[in-house]
């Protein structure tokens, strides 16, 4: 076999050792409380499931879907953007449904990236931004997100030499893994930066509906001129607890959407139609699940933040999303602390290094675990003794 060289550029999966240890502890009968999974623990709302079931019986939905998606889904997405963000989208040219947003996030690199080109990528960040850049033959240029700057990149600090070689930039707010939100003024700045350097902006926004303290996050497309320079990826996964159904969307710049469609129409054949129609149901139906879910997550966030403060793990309260990003104490790496919590109190977290070099001094806690498991985890964390075996 002669594997392609591009595979050599992809680093090995970082958490192999830790996952092996979790599996071994579990096999020996030890109960592990895991804060390591970012997937809603609550079920998909029943009105959405009912639509999937009824549409599954319709023979027209058994055939190949169209890659571009059903017109009624395009319209439901455009109407949702109008209602939620007051953003106007042409349903046929400025909206494209995706098989979960991750697929589109990966594939868009094929539209903008080639050898010799850079992509500006937040560090820490969702690993797909850098992996897809490398698969497409380009190189990531990491832009630090630091707590001092509320985890917003300092665009003025990006050197001209990097900006001139970059063709694309990733942003993600509310942010995974830091939990930070971005104000609309930041997106306005990003549009200016993109225009100045001719860089295409991809805003990854699956958490705009997962927010705390009643502060609704803005869309990148609310920034003036955003549609000229970028797109926004969104998803039904986090909003409607639909991670397993695989449906998301990209909206905004029509030329980029056409380019992505050209790539995708040669790789996939779209989203199963029953699921597209369930997405219409989700977007047009009752939105009660959003505030209900946010209330539950906010309570969990506050419970966990309290114990973290008590045990000396400082964390900036997240504005949105599923995660708390906690600083590791002096003398630990993120992997050291992850190991110690696992071995000593049987609590699993994610080491920050998995999200980039600047994640090294942090660990990530997810709050998508059932309340009784959360309480058990909190009890165990309260009993953690620093450095003890």
Residues within the interface to ligand PLP (CB under 6 A)? 38, 100-102, 105, 126, 172, 176, 204, 206, 235, 237, 243, 248
Return the number of the residue (61 or 239) whose C-beta is nearest ligand PLP: 239
The least distance separating ligand PLP from the CB of residue 277, rounded to whole angstroms, comes to 18
Return the number of the residue (248 or 252) whose C-beta is nearest ligand PLP: 248
The least distance separating ligand PLP from the CB of residue 244, rounded to whole angstroms, comes to 9
Return the number of the residue (141 or 233) whose C-beta is nearest ligand PLP: 233
The least distance separating ligand PLP from the CB of residue 113, rounded to whole angstroms, comes to 18
The least distance separating ligand PLP from the CB of residue 204, rounded to whole angstroms, comes to 5
Return the number of the residue (279 or 378) whose C-beta is nearest ligand PLP: 279
Return the number of the residue (322 or 384) whose C-beta is nearest ligand PLP: 322
Return the number of the residue (352 or 380) whose C-beta is nearest ligand PLP: 352
d(CA 25, CA 28): 5
Return the number of the residue (76 or 163) whose C-beta is nearest ligand PLP: 76
The least distance separating ligand PLP from the CB of residue 283, rounded to whole angstroms, comes to 14
Return the number of the residue (205 or 348) whose C-beta is nearest ligand PLP: 205
The least distance separating ligand PLP from the CB of residue 345, rounded to whole angstroms, comes to 26
Kind of pairing, strands 248-252 and 95-98? antiparallel
The least distance separating ligand PLP from the CB of residue 322, rounded to whole angstroms, comes to 8
Return the number of the residue (248 or 377) whose C-beta is nearest ligand PLP: 248
- Whole-angstrom distance between the N-terminal and C-terminal Cα of the chain? 46
The least distance separating ligand PLP from the CB of residue 207, rounded to whole angstroms, comes to 7
Which tokens in the block code for residue 142?
Answer: 């990491």
- Secondary structure string (H, E, C) spanning the chain: CCCCHHHHHCCCCCCHHHHHHHHHHHHCCCCCEECCCCCCCCCCCHHHHHHHHHHHCCHHHHCCCCCCCCHHHHHHHHHHHHHHHCCCCCCCCCEEEECCHHHHHHHCHHHHCCCCCEEEEEECCCCHHHHHHHHCCCEEEEEECCHHHCCCCCHHHCCHHHHHHEEEEEEECCCCCCCCCCCHHHHHHHHHHHHHHCCEEEEECCCCCCECCCCCCCCHHHCCCHHHHEEEEEECCCCCCCHHHCCEEEEECHHHHHHHHHHHCCCCCCCCHHHHHHHHHHHHCCCHHHHHHHHHHHHHHHHHHHHHHHCCCCECCCCECCEEEEECCCCCCHHHHHHHHHHHHCEECEEHHHHCHHHCCEEEEECCCCHHHHHHHHHHHHCCCCCCC
d(CA 193, CA 107): 24
d(CA 30, CA 20): 14
The least distance separating ligand PLP from the CB of residue 225, rounded to whole angstroms, comes to 24
The least distance separating ligand PLP from the CB of residue 88, rounded to whole angstroms, comes to 23
Return the number of the residue (127 or 285) whose C-beta is nearest ligand PLP: 127
């Amino acid at each position: 076999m002669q594997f392609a060289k591009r595979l050599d550029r992809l680093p090995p999966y970082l958490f192999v050792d830790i996952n092996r240890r979790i599996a071994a502890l579990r096999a020996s009968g030890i109960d592990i409380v895991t804060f390591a999974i970012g997937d809603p623990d609550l079920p998909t709302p029943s009105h959405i499931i009912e639509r999937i079931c009824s549409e599954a019986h319709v023979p027209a939905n058994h055939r190949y879907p169209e890659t571009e998606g059903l017109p009624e889904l395009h319209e439901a997405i455009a109407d949702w953007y109008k209602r939620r963000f007051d953003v106007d989208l042409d349903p046929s040219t400025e909206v494209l449904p995706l098989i979960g947003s991750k697929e589109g996030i990966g594939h868009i690199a094929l539209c903008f990236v080639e050898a010799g080109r850079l992509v500006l990528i937040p560090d820490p960040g969702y690993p797909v931004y850098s992996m897809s850049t490398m698969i497409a033959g380009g190189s990531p240029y990491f832009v630090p997100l630091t707590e001092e700057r509320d985890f917003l990149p300092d665009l003025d600090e990006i050197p001209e030499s990097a900006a001139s070689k970059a063709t694309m930039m990733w942003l993600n707010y509310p942010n995974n893994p830091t939990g930070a939100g971005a104000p609309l003024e930041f997106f306005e700045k990003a549009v200016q930066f993109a225009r100045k350097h001719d860089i295409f902006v991809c805003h990854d926004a699956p958490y705009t509906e997962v927010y705390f303290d009643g502060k609704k996050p803005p869309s990148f497309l609310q920034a003036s001129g955003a549609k000229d320079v970028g797109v926004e990826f969104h998803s039904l996964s986090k909003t409607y607890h639909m991670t397993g159904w695989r449906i998301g969307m990209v909206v905004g710049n029509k030329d980029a959407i056409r380019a992505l469609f050209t790539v995708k129409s040669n790789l996939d054949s779209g989203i199963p139609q029953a699921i597209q129609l369930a997405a219409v149901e989700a977007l047009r139906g009752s939105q009660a699940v959003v505030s209900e879910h946010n209330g539950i997550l906010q309570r969990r966030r506050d419970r966990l933040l309290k114990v973290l403060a008590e045990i000396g793990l400082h964390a900036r309260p997240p504005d949105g999303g599923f995660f708390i990003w906690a600083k590791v104490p002096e003398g630990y790496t993120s992997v050291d602390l992850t190991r110690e919590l696992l071995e000593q109190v049987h609590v699993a977290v994610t080491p920050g290094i998995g999200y980039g070099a600047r994640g090294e001094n942090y660990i990530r806690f997810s709050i998508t675990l059932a309340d009784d498991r959360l309480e058990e985890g909190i009890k165990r964390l309260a009993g953690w003794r620093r450095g003890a075996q």
